[in-house]
């Protein structure tokens, strides 16, 4: 079943988080205001990204990445019998124009450049078609989405989204299960590492902001990225060690109390509803 939505209601970042956490495979087509994007995923990893219908061949990708000169590119193209990337890669390796790691790095940089453009889109529609994967003979490189989301969040313009995700800065953050090992493999900037090192039961987000010398909007942006990458979440009240007594009184006052019926009442309800 396809997932359809609007970027205003469900951002590209949130969609990437869903694909990553649910380890989805398929094609995400985004129709932005001026252009469109196509992203392909396998088991929650980004494999390929094209923006504006531009489907660059490997030689063009490496030339744009500065790994290949125009003359080298022309020479390889002249030898190729098809436009398939695999043949071009083989010819590049044989000619000694590029190494295997040059090719992987070049393709990876191309994918990231394209996907980061999508982060800047705040309007448009999307359709995710599960299990539809078609990239012809293009070379794909699996890219971890957590890294993409954290890095991409730096480019987000919509400060409103950060405030919506984190309206109150007087909350504690908690790492999600498995976040430690994932963080070790990620490439993050200095500010992101500072926030990560201060997050946890010791500090509220406001305290992190003060200690890391980041503005409220900066810390919101970073926390937003880390939350979307499923590395952090806002701690529930029971996960926070000890609230102040005034906090506790305020929360208790606002709390909605349920009814505590007897077990017998619940089993009678269950029996009756089963019979309906």
Partner 1 sequence: MQNVKMVVTGPFSAGKTQFIHTISEIDVVSTERRLSHPADPDKSQTTVAMDFGRLTIDDDLILYIFGTPGQRRFDFMWRILSQGTLGLVVLLDSVRPDTFREAREILNTFQTYADVPYVVVANKQDLPDAWSPEDLRVALRIPRAIKVLPCVATDRESVKEVLLQLLYTILESMDGDS
- Residues in contact with partner 1 by the rule CB under 8 A: 1-6, 8-10, 14, 17-18, 21-22, 164, 233, 236-237, 251, 254-259, 261, 263, 265-270, 272-274, 276
The distance of closest approach from Cβ of residue 170 to partner 1 in the complex, given in angstroms and rounded to an integer, is 12
Choose between 180 and 261: whose C-beta lies nearer to partner 1.
261
Round the CA-based radius of gyration of the chain to a whole number and report it.
24
Choose between 213 and 239: whose C-beta lies nearer to partner 1.
239
- Nearest to residue 251, comparing CAs of 261, 264, 242? 242
d(CA 46, CA 140): 9
The distance of closest approach from Cβ of residue 193 to partner 1 in the complex, given in angstroms and rounded to an integer, is 24
The distance of closest approach from Cβ of residue 267 to partner 1 in the complex, given in angstroms and rounded to an integer, is 8
Identify whether the C-beta of residue 13 lies closer than 8 Å to the C-beta of residue 149: yes
The distance of closest approach from Cβ of residue 224 to partner 1 in the complex, given in angstroms and rounded to an integer, is 13
Choose between 8 and 155: whose C-beta lies nearer to partner 1.
8
The distance of closest approach from Cβ of residue 269 to partner 1 in the complex, given in angstroms and rounded to an integer, is 6
Choose between 17 and 59: whose C-beta lies nearer to partner 1.
17
Q: Which distant-in-sequence residues (6+ apart) come within 8 Å of 132 by Cβ? A: 26, 27
Choose between 2 and 95: whose C-beta lies nearer to partner 1.
2
Q: How far is CA 22 from the centre of its chain?
A: 12
Identify whether the C-beta of residue 76 lies closer than 8 Å to the C-beta of residue 95: yes
d(CA 130, CA 28): 8
């Amino acid at each position: 079943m396809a997932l359809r939505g609007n970027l205003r209601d469900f951002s590209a970042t949130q969609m990437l988080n869903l694909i990553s956490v649910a380890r989805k495979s398929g094609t995400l087509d985004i129709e932005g205001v001026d252009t469109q994007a196509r992203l392909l995923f396998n088991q929650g990893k980004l494999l390929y990204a094209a923006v504006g219908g531009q489907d660059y061949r490997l030689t063009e990708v490496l030339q744009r990445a500065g790994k290949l000169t125009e003359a080298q590119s022309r020479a390889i193209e002249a030898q190729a019998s098809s436009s398939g990337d695999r043949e071009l890669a083989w010819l590049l390796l044989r000619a000694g124009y590029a190494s295997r790691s040059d090719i992987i790095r070049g393709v990876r940089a191309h994918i990231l450049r394209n996907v980061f453009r999508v982060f800047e889109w705040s309007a448009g529609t999307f359709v995710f078609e599960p299990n539809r994967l078609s990239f012809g003979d293009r070379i794909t490189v699996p890219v971890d989405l957590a890294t993409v989301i954290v890095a991409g969040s730096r480019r987000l313009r919509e400060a409103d989204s950060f405030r919506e995700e984190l309206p109150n800065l007087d909350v504690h953050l908690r790492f999600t299960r498995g976040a430690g090992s994932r963080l070790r493999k990620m490439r993050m900037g200095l500010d992101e590492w500072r926030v990560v090192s201060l997050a946890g039961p010791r500090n509220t987000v406001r305290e992190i902001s003060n200690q890391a010398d980041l503005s409220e909007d900066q810390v919101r942006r970073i926390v937003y990225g880390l939350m979307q990458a499923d590395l952090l979440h806002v701690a529930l009240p029971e996960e926070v060690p000890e609230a102040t007594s005034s906090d506790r009184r305020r929360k208790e006052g606002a709390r909605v109390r349920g009814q505590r019926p007897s077990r017998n009442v619940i089993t009678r309800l269950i029996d009756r509803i089963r019979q309906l």
